Structure 1
Amino acid sequence: MHLLVPKAAEEGGFVGPSIAEFFPDIILFEGTPFAMNRIMMLRLLVVAVLVLMFWLGTRNMKIVPGRFQTLIEMALNLVRVSIAEDVLGKKDGTRFLPLLTTVFFLVLGMNLTGVIPGLNIAGTSVIGLPLVLAVIAYIAFIYAGLKKHPGAFLKNSLFPPGVPKPIYVIVTPIEFVSIFVLRPITLCLRLLMNMVAGHLLLVLLFSATQFFFFSAAVDGAFRAFGAGTLLFGLVFTLFEVLVAVLQAYVFTLLTTVYIQQALAEEH
């Protein structure tokens, strides 16, 4: 079956997206620990753009802000007010704000590369980056709990107060898996799968558009199919922009909620 795709391609047939798109060829430093492919390069590009954008927006702050400073302040206030302070309160929200702001804009920037012409793939569509971000969120959650409740955090997490002691045989393994295993896994996979699915869907629609317009037999019906897949492709591109923003928001919000739970007084 794997021989059918190349044969179809040679004959001008339709070739759909494959998982190979998430593992492009090495471009720089092949054979070294610093080997870089297209996805790694666009990740570095996103980081550079974010650093430049916030540096330009905050290097010369004015009491009466200009348009660009206003835009930067609105973006920063979204994380500060709507996520950090709303969930953690002013004191703890300010304390964890640098981490939460970095996570939000890094995830957002990496997600949006999936709909930018010329880049066309999200930096979060390969597991490495979502996994690193999930581990950072996990470490922040554990650190917050141990810092605030050094003697009780782990005990109360694994042995919730008020539960009859014989029931701990069932409750403790469930709590351990739920809190210390599933949280980073679900954070990672939720972000990863949304970006993978969105990319494959867009590639499918625009590949079908190209096929119907340029490779299929010259026929009005095929052109009509091409117009349909093009329309759906444009609609789903806008939908992917929404998904990119929502996934950045959800990832940051869940990180904040986990930190808040670690700081809660019952621990």
Structure 2
Amino acid sequence: MTAGVPTEFIAPGPQSFDTPPIIDGVDWFTKPVLVSALSVVVILWFFWGASRKADVVPSKLQFAGELGYNFVRNSIARDAIGSQEYMKYVPYLTGLFFFILLNNIAATVPLVQFPTFSHIGWAYSAAIMTWVIYNAVGIRKHGPWGYFKHQTMPAGVPWWLMPLMIPIEFISNIIVRPISLSLRLFANMFAGHILLLVFVLGGEYLVFETGNIALAGVGIVTWVMGLAIGGLELFVQCIQAYIFVVLTAQYIGSAIAEDH
């Protein structure tokens, strides 16, 4: 503020997600890279510590590890893939779930406060990895032609409808899935972080920059609302990790199923 005139409020936008290199000269080492690397370290430490001294009467860390593992195994993998083949995919689904979860909730961790998947490239990478896996296991089980028929020719559809159904099913099952999977995660993380920035920075502007007592009171209310939005965003961060992994499991289950 200069000579009693408040400075202009600059609304947060895509530029708020620009992350300069943490180390000068190392362009690739940005905050998303650091957050993702730390999340991998935390996941490895957590499950290593939980399983290192497994006992009949579990310690608190072992109990937490078993709870997280059993949640993914029983509530996601077994329900979506089926009881015959689900166990071979549990390690991938468990790692994917906790990786997305930790990178999402990093947005609410003090001093970090950045959701890795608010950068679209990270969301695309996770979705492409899932796309490769479910198509690969489907082709391995049914063969290339069998898998193509499995994904594009629904059972019970009359032959004369197949010219219409094949391109629709191909686009839906092969092309659209990774795009929708990544965009859902990216859009929620991006929009949620933007919303939090609006409340936090807007409150700061009203309190410190306007020089108006009434507006300063509004700014304090804005901060309180921001805390509520932060709690909602934490819920959304957890739900989005769950949805991404549930859909991954469903795509794998659909790819290896006997019937379309």
TM range (shorter): over 0.9
Q: Residue 167 of structure 2 is aligned with which of 164, 167, 173?
A: 173
Matched, 1:17 2:26: no
Counterpart amino acid of residue 7 in structure 2: G
Question: Residue 6 of structure 2 contacts residue 210 of structure 2 at CA under 8 Å; is this kept in 1?
Answer: no
Give, in angstroms, the shift of residue 91 of structure 1.
3.2
1:47, 1:123 → 2: CA distance?
Answer: 13
Give, in angstroms, the shift of residue 180 of structure 1.
0.5
Larger mean Cα displacement after TM superposition, 157-166 or 55-64: 157-166
Q: Following superposition of structure 1 onto structure 2, how do residues 94-243 of structure 1 map, counting pairs within 5 Å?
A: 94-150=87-143, 151-219=145-213, 221-243=214-236
Deviations 1:41-90 (A, max 9, x none): 12211111221222222211111111121111111111011001122223
How high is the TM-score relative to the length of structure 2?
0.92
Q: 1:123 to 1:31 in 2, by over 3 A?
A: closer
Matched, 1:253 2:242: no
Larger mean Cα displacement after TM superposition, 245-254 or 162-171: 162-171
Q: 1:29 to 1:181 in 2, by over 3 A?
A: farther
1:136, 1:159 → 2: CA distance?
Answer: 25
Deviations 1:89-144 (A, max 9, x none): 23322111011101100110110011111111101110121111101111121122
2:83, 2:165 → 1: CA distance?
Answer: 34
How high is the TM-score relative to the length of structure 1?
0.90
1:176, 1:30 → 2: CA distance?
Answer: 45
Give unpaired runs (5+ residues) of structure 1. Answer: 1-6
1:134, 1:31 → 2: CA distance?
Answer: 27
- The aligned counterpart of 2:46 is 53
1:11, 1:212 → 2: CA distance?
Answer: 10
Give, in angstroms, the shift of residue 171 of structure 1.
1.2
Counterpart amino acid of residue 131 in structure 2: Y
Larger mean Cα displacement after TM superposition, 103-112 or 54-63: 54-63
**Sequence identity of aligned pairs in percent?**
32
SS at match of 1:118: coil
